Amino acid sequence: MTLGELVEVLGGKLAQGNPEWEVEGVSSSARACSFHLVFAEDAASAAKALARSSGIVVLQAGLVDSYPPDYCIVEADQPRLWFARAALLLKPVLPTIGVHPTAVIGEGAELGENVTVGPCAVIGEYAQIGAGTRIEAGAIIGEGVRIGDNCRIYPRAVLYPGTKLGNRVIVHAGAVLGADGFGYVRDSATGAYTQFPQQGTLLIEDDVEIGANSTIDRGALKQTKIGRGTKMDNLVHVGHNCEIGEDVILVTGVGISGSCTVGNGAVIAGQVGIGDHAHIGPGVILGGQAGVLSGKTVTNEGLGVKPGTVLWGTPARPLKQVLRELAVLARLAKKGSGVRDQGSGNRD
């Protein structure tokens, strides 16, 4: 694409340079050539980006006093976002190769136009695969699964029956979608466990990305749902009957127990644990290793903090509060240690 075409699609202002300049891709400042796009968010990164002999740089207006010659400069309010969107537009389109001879396609399965099915992949009976979707090597698509347009299912991912994906969903290698939830009923007389019925469904809405080796259970008697635009890191688990809102971030190691809800725009950092039937409000940020107890509701309003405040600890509460509590405990521990030392001296 030309630089002018990128600006026309993504907005911003071409402050300097030739709109017909071909952009071949994106790169870091250290590795970019004159046909690569780089970005700068502050004065230091701008100086680094503009230290080469020539190139294409996207940055905020007013970040530097003047632009060196031989540079193409795009001014944008959010340079990192502009850069990321440009990278998607410049990414090479993978060729459509059709159905590999070793793939297995079940009876009644429907494949849309330009679908790719890789080696040893399995498409179950009556599954529906939307146009432009790629099913990579060894992936398993269960009976009756529905996958929308332009999705990508990476190698060895498994989609159980009862799973439905929207459009442009990415499922990375080893992810398992729609498995049985962890639900059992205990016999009070014998102590033996019997599985509670796990016969619900799983809905993944448009533009969701699911990291490698992550797992999402289907509902027990109803539906598990992952909202539009949500992004899940590797090794995340979402239990049965959960409802995750739109544009939620779930970082690696997060474990969400069954029947929880997470509001739109929440950020759940690494290794956070959430007990069953808990409710996380919109925009809540749970810091790394925070814990939410079963049945609890965590909202910014309920804790009297502004949206965007980081919550931490177990039970999760505002980070500033946790740090104050830790400081008090440290002072008490130090004081207690002094008392013990003094007492020991008196006994001698």
Residues 202 and 218 sit within 8 Å (Cβ to Cβ): yes
Backbone torsions φ then ψ of 80, nearest 5 degrees: -65, -45
246 sits in which H/E element: none
Q: Is 240 a catalytic residue?
A: yes
**Quick count: other Cβ atoms within 10 Å of Cβ 311?**
24
> CA distances (Å), 215 to each of 177, 256, 327, in order?
6, 11, 38
**Could you give the CA distance from residue 133 to residue 151 in angstroms, rounded to a whole number?**
5
- The terminus-to-terminus CA distance of the chain in angstroms comes to 84
**Could you give the CA distance from residue 285 to residue 12 in angstroms, rounded to a whole number?**
30
Structure tokens at 148: 């929308």
* Rg of the chain over all Cα atoms, to the nearest angstrom: 26
At 272 the three-state DSSP class reads: coil
Q: Provide long-range contacts, Cβ within 8 A and 24+ apart, for 318-324.
A: 319/287
At 81 the three-state DSSP class reads: helix
Q: Which of 172, 240, 277, 279 is catalytic?
A: 240
Alpha-carbon dihedral sign for residues 205, 176, 242, 293: negative
Structure tokens at 163: 């799973």
Q: Which residues are catalytic?
A: 240
